[in-house]
Amino acid sequence: MSSSVLTPSASEPHSTTTSTWLKRARPALWLIPFALFFYLFQLAPMIWVLINSFIYDDEFALDNYIEVLDSAFMMQAFGNSLWLAVWSSIIGLLIATVLVSSLRRVNSRIRDGVIAFTNMSSNFAGVPLSFAFIIILGTNGAITLLLKQYGLLGDFDLYGKWGLLAIYIYFQIPLAVLLLYPAFDALSDDWQAAASLLGARTSQYWAKVALPVLSPALLGTFIILVANAIGAYASVYALTSGNYNLITIRIASLVSGDLFLEPNLAAAISVILMLLLAFITVINQWLISKSYAGKSARK
């Protein structure tokens, strides 16, 4: 009786290698839909904008950029957008910092309610927000008439610079609260108690302990708020019908205006805006790295 010896087939090493490769490649394969989505809605539009920003009269040139930089009207739009973005971010960040700091001291039920309301109000923007402000603070708004009756409101104009600043601050606060709330978990109540035992006042605790610990989160949140404000369009357009000179209004008018359509000029403005935001982001990352370096040195 002959016995046969079982030997591994030549295809088994190949199948094992294929199976190992598939296991390693599977996570990368799951990224393909995201990569495709990212390319179609992020990279492809940016590449289109960059290329078309250099097209002037069917030729590659820098004339679009020269026209933007030589235009006082366009520079005013950049100035107005930056003014609103920076001041609304600063004020919104200050209010949100105080609010989040207070939330850590209140009852959990109240805290959960405020966070839920913040989540809801962060999505209240655009046309509904503008309509709400018109009803409340417009020329014949309820609060406007009440304050004027008691002589507490002067020449406030909702449709001007200060009115727009009020709207910007309103939609900046919920976003800043949602971004800062997790960062405050890095603060320990024992630190303030220890500082108090050593004779430090509350202001000294915040200046020497709390703010240095929170500085990376505060700087990062500030940059996000600036980018959020510069890119705002729907609320401003619904409130002013495009009559206030902001950079997003100018881009929209050049792309979908009734009289003059200059998409290549709009592309050049968009590229300048992206470079401006990139510069602000680089400065922010440098400040954050310096902050972390300073903490490491103190340790």
Average pLDDT per block of 10 residues along the chain, 299 residues long: 49 63 75 86 88 87 90 92 93 92 81 82 80 85 81 76 90 89 80 81 81 84 89 86 87 78 89 88 76 52
The verdict on 96 and 232 lying in the same domain is: yes
The verdict on 223 and 113 lying in the same domain is: yes
Residue 165 lies in a domain: yes
Residue 215 lies in a domain: yes
pLDDT at residue 95 in the model: 93
Q: Which amino acid is at 142?
A: A
The verdict on 106 and 50 lying in the same domain is: no
pLDDT at residue 9 in the model: 52
The verdict on 204 and 276 lying in the same domain is: no
Residue 208 lies in a domain: yes
pLDDT at residue 134 in the model: 87
pLDDT at residue 1 in the model: 45
pLDDT at residue 82 in the model: 92
Half-sphere exposure of 37 (CA within 13 A, CB side): 5
pTM value surpassing 0.85:
no
The verdict on 88 and 233 lying in the same domain is: yes
Residue 235 lies in a domain: yes
Residue-number span of the structural domain to which 54 is assigned: 32-70+262-294
The verdict on 192 and 269 lying in the same domain is: no
The verdict on 106 and 184 lying in the same domain is: yes
Displacement of CA 90 from its chain's centroid (Å): 13
The verdict on 66 and 119 lying in the same domain is: no
The verdict on 108 and 153 lying in the same domain is: yes
Residue 169 lies in a domain: yes
The verdict on 61 and 44 lying in the same domain is: yes
The verdict on 93 and 236 lying in the same domain is: yes
pLDDT at residue 290 in the model: 65
Name the domain count of the chain: 2
The CATH number assigned to the domain holding 169 equals: 1.10.3720.10
